[in-house]
Amino acid sequence: MSDMVADKVVVITGAGSGIGMEFALAFAAHGAKVVVNDLGRDAHGNSAAESVVTRIRELGGEAVASTDNVSQWDSAKHIVQAALDSFGRIDCVVNNAGIVRDRFFFKMSLEEWQAVVDVHLNGSFFVARAAAPYFKEQASGSYIHMTSTSGLIGNPGQANYSAAKMAVVGLSKSIALDMARYNVRSNCIAPWAWTAMTASVPTDTPEAAARMEKLKTMEPRKIAPLAVYLASDAGAGVSGQIFGVRANEIYLFSQSRVIRSVHRSEGWTPEGIAEHAIPAMQTFFYDNVPSPQLTTWDPL
């Protein structure tokens, strides 16, 4: 392996399994010192974070475990502090921790909404904010946030997850703008991969079942090279972007921009909008379809 992120200190949340674990292994293989954060435990009660740390050390890498909760302000600070205590600095935060509580919007409970928002959105803010003073002081740093096509495009039965993942995009953009003067960048990755989290998504229709079968061919390890690049010095000029990784494909997603406007010098009435504005813009409307309908080709 290369030394593309040699001696950089990286905090990865949700790194005990799935995509986060592959991130941790890849960063360590490319020379980084890794804080593996995860609350999870295996069937025998062993810490998932400790298990990944053991694997990294057996392969000659450097890593420490953190079992603090991203969704609490104080415990999120402890995750960043683990990097400082163990390695003396912090260079990158990968906000990967996530859960799903899928249910149709009209049946979703407050608890299901709050739990997902707390982990994905609040957790991303809390950990990112904890690292910000150190990035600012050293005039360098990289944030990598995991978003999803469920937010970027849409998916049924995931109002909580979709809202949180789209909010993470806004958070990332704000960080990129606010911290550009300090040479700190912030980007998003939307991953396609088969993990324990995606395995829990309901497959109650033939279309959903077919999508899951396709998803099983997309390996979590395929996401990691882009994250390593974005954290490296080679990625220093890349900020405020939204990428996607699907097997061997890397996507760059569009961002919201004005695409059509209409004007009346005398101003608008509801009737005028119905007669003129909407018909003038309607051919530019986006179809109300879920994300799988826009990636219909097999992964490469």
Active site residues: 161
- Asked if residues 230 and 252 have their Cβ atoms less than 8 Å apart, the reply is no
- The residue assigned the tokens 């707390």 is 118
Alpha-carbon distance of 49 to 143, in angstroms, equals 21
Query: Residue-wise over 171-189: b if at least 16 C-beta within 10 A, else e?
Result: bbbebbeebeeeebbbbbb
Could you tell me whether strands 9-13 and 141-146 are parallel, antiparallel, or unpaired per DSSP bridges?
Answer: unpaired
Q: In what order do the strands lie in the sheet with 249-252?
A: 62-66, 33-37, 9-13, 92-95, 141-146, 184-192, 242-246, 249-252
DSSP-assigned states of every residue in 266-294: T---HHHIIIIIHHHHGGGPPP---GGGG
Task: Tally the residues of the chain.
Answer: 300
Alpha-carbon distance of 161 to 14, in angstroms, equals 16
Query: Residue-wise over 49-62: b if at least 16 C-beta within 10 A, else e?
Result: bbbbbebbeeeebb
Q: Dig out the tokens for 248 from the structure.
A: 């061997």
- Asked if residues 90 and 77 have their Cβ atoms less than 8 Å apart, the reply is no
